[in-house]
């Protein structure tokens, strides 16, 4: 894709020229790109799934634009000068689930008040993080929400856990469009 700058011939031009190139306007600039090829054959299931996901992202972004509170939240991340609108930010948020980068269990010894630290990131905002602790036999020890400390999420244990051997810690992170990421560690 090429960008035309201060060119009196292509300024404001948009449309397809033959089967070779396409001119389009974005953020006051003329963009020149290769013309798309005609599609042949059926879409694969993976392509259909991606199309459906993108359709959900478009509907989510439209809903954000119609909700003043959510729109204001996404407005803060928009960069109109670089062609990134509130709509673009909302679409990207739905398309990208949060990532759980690290679960730090070094502060968890099974005692009430112990802290588990979680590093979770998202392209826009991690909305919530929950922690579930299960014994080796699958019985629930405790479950609850972690608190955002700004840099990481902190979960403070509310129950004593006598035997940590084989215990499973499951962390779930969600973002504003309710994308969910889950990661587990076994002690």
Task: State pTM to two decimals.
Answer: 0.77
CA–CA distances in Å: residue 187 to residues 73, 109, 140, 161, 169? 39, 10, 15, 12, 8
CB atoms within 10 A of CB 110: 16
Q: Any idea of the CA torsion for 160, 172, 146, 71, to the nearest 10 degrees? A: -160
**pLDDT per residue rounded down to tens, the chain (187 residues):** 556 566 666 777 778 887 888 888 877 778 888 888 888 889 899 999 999 999 999 999 999 999 999 999 999 888 877 778 999 999 999 999 999 999 999 999 999 999 999 999 999 999 999 999 999 999 999 999 999 998 899 999 999 998 888 999 999 999 999 999 999 999 8
| C-alpha span between 21 and 3 (Å, rounded) | 13
């Amino acid at each position: 894709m090429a960008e035309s700058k201060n060119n009196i011939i292509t300024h404001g031009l948009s449309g397809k020229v033959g089967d070779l190139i396409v001119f389009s306007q974005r953020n006051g600039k003329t963009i020149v790109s290769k013309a798309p090829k005609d599609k042949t054959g059926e879409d694969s299931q993976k392509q259909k799934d991606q199309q459906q996901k993108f359709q959900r992202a478009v509907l989510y972004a439209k809903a954000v634009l119609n909700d003043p509170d959510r729109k204001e939240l996404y407005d803060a991340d928009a960069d109109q000068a670089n062609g990134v609108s509130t709509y673009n930010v909302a679409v990207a948020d739905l398309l990208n689930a949060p990532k759980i980068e690290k679960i730090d269990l070094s502060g968890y010894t099974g005692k009430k008040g112990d802290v588990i630290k979680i590093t979770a990131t998202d392209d826009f905002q991690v909305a919530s993080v929950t922690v579930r602790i299960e014994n080796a036999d699958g019985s629930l020890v405790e479950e609850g929400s972690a608190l955002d400390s700004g840099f990481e999420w902190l979960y403070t244990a509310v129950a004593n856990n006598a035997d940590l051997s084989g215990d499973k810690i499951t962390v779930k992170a969600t973002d504003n469009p309710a994308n969910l990421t889950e990661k587990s560690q076994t002690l």
